[in-house]
Amino acid sequence: MMNNDVIVAGYICLDLLPELYPADNGTPFEYVPGKLLEVGGTRAACGGAVPNTGLALHKLGHRPRLLGRVGVDAFGNIVSALVEGAGQGLSRSLINDEQLYTANTFIISPPGQDRMFLAHAGANRNFSSDDVLNAGFDDVRLLHFGYPPLLDHSFRDNGNDTKKMFQVAKSRNVTTSLDMCLPDPGAGSAKIDWNAWLDNVLPQVDVFLPSIDELVFMLGNDKLSHLADKLLQRGVAVVVIKLGSQGVYVKITDNPKRLAQMGACAPVHLEQWQNMEFMVPCFEAKVKGTTGAGDCTIAGFLSGLLRGMSAADAGRFACAVGSCNVEAPDAYSGLMDFDATLKRLNSGWNMEDDCVDKKIWRKTNAGVYARSG
């Protein structure tokens, strides 16, 4: 068996989606105590950064090791079977937690109404840096970590456990990347000082790929370039901000030494990365659902990085994978393998660039939008 080239660690859960029918008389769905409501079949799918980004990387031709905790219970068996179904051996590194349930999210999504989530973090509460460090880094070039706001050990204590995990990875020449999520507004993680957490952890993060909503929650509302500067000043080398249906914004350090310190995935051609700032709009897609779109966009960018692409090509590839994702309702079925995705990208796939202010941004020969001034 070939060794893993990338670790994807952090949050994993089982999503359960009962199909709800539209009400006959058009009345909105409501919870009525004592009433039986007939529903359609329930779809089960893996959720969280580990399966979403991990399985996308596998689809794109990489050899990920998926490190996340599942309970020793029926839902844990389903998660393992779904992961294994995407590729033989992929479930091997999942960690069985003897104490807690498998995390699960019931997604109550009535037609025409906003959805509600009933979420239980379960075994993720026991995830810690030891789960990654015990597995080792042989041949691993990249460590991607997702959703610290849902992982107790990762958000507590100013992020010291997360910092330690990234520090050890970097000492082994492994490139590090980080994805966020929004904390549950009622949970403990919503009340911690995220500024201090970012101060502590980001110096160890080479590539940071949050969404704009998460950044605004943690740093306050500001211009994209100012938010990115706040992250670069904390020591991140490459900032990728996901903008939902507007694609991604990328800003990269002007410091060549910092780029060289990225470890195994450090860019070989510095001039293709250093001091870059650009936008990549989404590619045209018939949207069937955005589940896992952010995680798949990240997988696209990381695949570009692992393959030594230029920053512009990695950004375009990220949006290409994101746009494939939204063409299917789930996180996985819309994705294509690396060659097919690249072929689609290179055969005149139109960008949805109406959202780009052409007074500020102009399209470059590399196919991204850079500042015109």
Ligand X SMILES: Nc1ncnc2c1ncn2[C@@H]1O[C@H](COP(=O)(O)OP(=O)(O)OP(=O)(O)O)[C@@H](O)[C@H]1O
Give the nearer residue to Mg ion in terms of CB position, either 64 or 294: 294
Which of 12, 140, 243, 265 binds ligand X (CB under 6 A)? It is: 243
Strand intervals (E) in the chain = 6-10, 13-18, 42-47, 64-67, 69-71, 95-97, 104-108, 116-120, 142-146, 175-179, 207-208, 238-242, 248-252, 277-280, 361-363, 369-371
What are 163's two structure tokens?
């910092």
The CA angle 87-89-90, to the nearest 5 degrees, is: 65
Residue nearest to Mg ion (CB): 294
Interface with ligand X, residue 242, by CB under 6 A: yes
For position 252 contacting ligand X by CB under 6 A, the verdict is no
Smallest Cα–Cα separation from 364: which of 356, 372, 352? 372
Min. distance of Cβ 250 from ligand X in angstroms? Answer: 11
3-state secondary structure of 347: coil
281 near 369, Cβ under 8 Å?
yes
Least distance from ligand X to the Cβ atom of residue 253, Å: 21
Among 16-24, 198-206, 250-258, 316-324, the segment contacting ligand X (CB under 6 A): 316-324
Binding segment for ligand X (CB under 6 A), chosen from 95-103, 137-145, 227-235, 243-251, is: 243-251
* 358, burial (CB in 10 Å: exposed 0-12, middle 13-18, buried 19+): exposed
Binding flag, residue 144, ligand X (CB under 6 A): no
- Near ligand X by CB under 6 A: residue from 104, 124, 126, 297: 297
Of the ranges 63-71, 229-237, 283-291, 303-311, which one interacts with ligand X (CB under 6 A)? Answer: 283-291
Q: Considering only CA atoms, give the Rg of the chain.
A: 20
The smaller minimum CB distance to ligand X, of residues 100 and 241, is found at 241
Out of ligand X, Mg ion, none, which partner does residue 247 contact, by CB within 5 to 8 A per kind?
A: ligand X
Residue 319 is a binding residue for ligand X (CB under 6 A) = yes
Token digits for 115?
């959805």
